[in-house]
């Protein structure tokens, strides 16, 4: 009886749409729930940023086949962008995700404006199966509760794939994983910005001439700092502070430079070092924020007694998975990174970079809750080593398993670049984007700027978000 119900995919980002494409290719009924008004809603928040990974790695195989194959109601004349180009987030959405989401086979499966608030299980006859009930659990259905403009609603599914990403759950700027005292008020009043603002574009007037404190040591921090360094060269009264939670380790801050197998990412560190050495960016070490006090400027009190003041704080402090909507499910999560337990040791950033994470699929991602999976950036929890190609392989394997093809589900094939420069905080992805001006001109061994990255990202090829 369960086979008459669809597989519900949460999120219409790159990974969510790829999951749907693989399921459709295997003649599985699927429904995609997306909180935004269109595909790639999270990516649209950083559309001005250019990815590290080229188009070659940003397109899922099943999605490509769907877009390129003619049918009775589809001409199949979609043209993939040139493989060696580095797309911006906006281009990823416009040239790939939107055509994919509007394909005649895909479009009817997607419901926009649907925020998933809870997932639980029920019997086919409607009887409840909460987290404590084991009898008959494996054969029960999933109940997915959503919030829409028309009010809440419940949907039934035989399986659920959570590809909702982490963009909506940023880490706090306070110490030890907690919000600083006064942080909520500082966010609400605009002193704390979005994680990836656009200081050289739409946010220029808001940033020019201000004192800006950027928190974080990953790629999203680097993107913003480089943009602010350029802004300061044009508006010298702009003051740029870079707050680090620890000491300034050059290898961690600037990466491998020319040695990075993602050329655009290596150049990111090189450009950032130049702005620091030129005095356009001031590094502050051991910044542990205890309290934020609103005034004409934002007072920033540190745990060691120091006091800073800033007009704006950019929270490039990373993201974490939002798990409260899954509280009625039986999950088995790694206690350190909050990824599926079998995946946790494979992605621990203390031991692995993007290129050393082995291919993994349905068996690694499975939970005690049969036919429920967390995929994409969210599957990596708090680990910053995700690549989009990894996510594509995840959902290919899961779709094969749900279609009953065990051999295909277990046959994992994935090639990733080896690089130690993977620490990032852009939605948990190593396809983390590079500034558009910079990446477009980076010199690499290809006719145009090309990356070896075999995906997310997203580096988000991504985010995303629902990368």
Residue 300 sits in a domain whose CATH number is 3.50.50.60
Buried b / exposed e across 46-77, counting CB within 10 Å, b at 16+?
bbbbbbbbbbbbbbbebbbebbeeeeeeeeee
Q: Label each residue of 323-334 as H, E or C.
A: CHHHCCCCCCEC
Residue 369 lies inside a defined structural domain of this protein: yes
pLDDT score, position 285: 95
Tell me if 243 sits within 8 A of 196, measured CB to CB: no
Same domain as 108, residue 138? yes
Cα–Cα distance between 136 and 151 in angstroms, integer? 31
> Are both 42 and 191 inside the same structural domain?
no
Instruction: Say if residue 17 is in the same domain as residue 156.
Output: yes
77, 149: one domain: yes
Contact 32, 69 (CB under 8 A): no
Q: Is residue 98 part of a domain?
A: yes
Is 333 a domain residue? yes
Cα(2)–Cα(158) distance, integer angstroms: 5
Same domain, 290 and 350: no
Considering the domain architecture, whether residues 27 and 161 belong to the same structural domain is answered as yes
> Does 427 fall in a domain?
yes
Say if residue 140 is in the same domain as residue 193: no
The whole-number pLDDT of residue 263 equals 57
Range of the domain at 282: 175-315
pTM: 0.85
Structure tokens at 145: 């509760």
pLDDT by position in tens, the chain (length 467): 467 899 999 999 999 999 999 999 999 999 999 999 999 999 999 999 888 778 988 999 999 999 999 999 999 999 999 998 989 999 999 999 999 999 999 999 999 999 999 999 998 888 888 899 988 898 899 999 999 999 999 999 999 999 999 999 999 999 999 999 999 999 999 999 999 999 999 999 999 999 999 999 887 898 899 999 999 999 999 999 999 998 887 666 776 555 555 556 667 788 899 999 999 999 999 999 999 999 999 999 999 999 999 999 999 998 999 999 999 999 999 999 999 999 998 887 666 555 567 789 999 999 999 999 999 999 999 887 788 889 999 999 999 999 999 999 999 987 654 443 333 333 334 444 444 343 333 222 222 222 223 333 333 232 332 22
Residue 462 falls inside a structural domain: no
Domain-ending residue, one of 270, 285, 315: 315
Q: Are residues 133 and 223 in the same domain?
A: no
Output the CA–CA distances (angstroms, integers) from residue 279 to 97, 204, 276, 364, in the order listed.
40, 20, 5, 47
325 and 378 fall within a common domain: yes
| End position of a domain, from candidates 286, 315, 344 | 315
| Same-domain status, 134 and 268 | no
Residue 195 lies in a domain: yes
Strand partners, 211: 239
Q: Is residue 464 part of a domain?
A: no
Predicted confidence at residue 127, as pLDDT, reads: 82
* Contact predicate 74/103, CB 8 Å: yes
Same structural domain, 323 and 419: yes
Q: Is the dihedral of CA 35, 41, 43, 48 positive or negative?
A: negative
329 and 417 within one domain: yes
The total domain count for the chain is 2
What gap in Å lies between CA 467 and CA 419, rounded to an integer?
Answer: 23
């Amino acid at each position: 009886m369960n086979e008459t119900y669809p597989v519900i995919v949460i999120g219409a980002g790159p990974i969510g749409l790829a999951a749907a494409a693989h399921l459709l290719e295997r003649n599985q009924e699927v429904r995609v729930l997306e909180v935004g008004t269109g595909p790639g809603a999270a990516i649209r928040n950083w559309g001005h940023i250019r990815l590290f990974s080229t188009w070659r790695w940003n397109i899922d195989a099943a999605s490509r086949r769907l877009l390129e194959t003619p049918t009775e109601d589809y001409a199949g004349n979609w043209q993939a962008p040139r493989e060696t180009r580095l797309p911006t987030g906006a281009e990823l959405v416009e040239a790939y995700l939107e055509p994919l989401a509007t394909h005649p086979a895909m479009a009817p499966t997607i419901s926009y404006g649907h925020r998933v608030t809870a997932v639980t299980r029920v019997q086919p006859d409607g009887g409840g199966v909460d987290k404590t009930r084991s009898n008959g659990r494996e054969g029960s259905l999933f109940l997915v509760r959503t919030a829409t403009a028309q009010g809440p609603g419940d949907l039934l599914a035989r399986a659920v794939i959570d590809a909702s990403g982490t963009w909506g759950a940023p880490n706090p700027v306070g110490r030890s994983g907690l919000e600083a005292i006064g942080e909520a008020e500082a966010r609400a009043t605009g002193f704390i910005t979005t994680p990836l603002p656009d200081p050289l574009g739409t946010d220029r007037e808001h940033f020019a001439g201000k004192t800006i404190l950027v928190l974080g040591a990953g790629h999203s921090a680097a993107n913003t700092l480089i943009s602010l360094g350029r802004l300061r060269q044009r508006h010298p009264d702009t003051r740029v502070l870079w707050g680090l939670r620890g000491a300034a380790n050059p290898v961690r801050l600037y990466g491998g430079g020319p040695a990075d197998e993602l050329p655009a990412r290596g150049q990111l560190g090189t450009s950032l070092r130049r702005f620091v050495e030129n005095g356009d960016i001031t590094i502050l070490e051991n910044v542990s924020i205890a309290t934020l006090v609103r005034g004409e400027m934002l007072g920033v009190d540190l745990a060691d007694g120091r006091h800073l003041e800033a007009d704006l704080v950019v929270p490039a402090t990373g993201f974490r998975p939002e798990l409260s909507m899954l509280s009625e499910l039986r999950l088995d999560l790694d206690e350190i990174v909050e990824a599926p337990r079998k995946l946790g040791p494979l992605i621990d950033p203390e031991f692995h970079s993007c290129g050393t994470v082995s291919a993994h699929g349905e068996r690694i991602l499975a939970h005690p809750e049969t036919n429920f999976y967390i995929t994409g950036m969210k599957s990596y929890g708090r680990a910053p080593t995700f690549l989009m190609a990894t996510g594509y392989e995840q959902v290919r394997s899961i779709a094969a398993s749900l279609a009953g093809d065990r051999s295909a589900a277990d046959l994992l094939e994935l090639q990733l670049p080896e690089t130690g420069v993977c620490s990032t905080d852009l939605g948990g992805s190593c396809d983390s984007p590079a500034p558009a001006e910079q990446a477009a001109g980076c010199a690499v061994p290809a006719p145009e700027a090309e990356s070896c990255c075999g995906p997310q990202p997203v580096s988000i090829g991504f985010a995303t978000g629902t990368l």
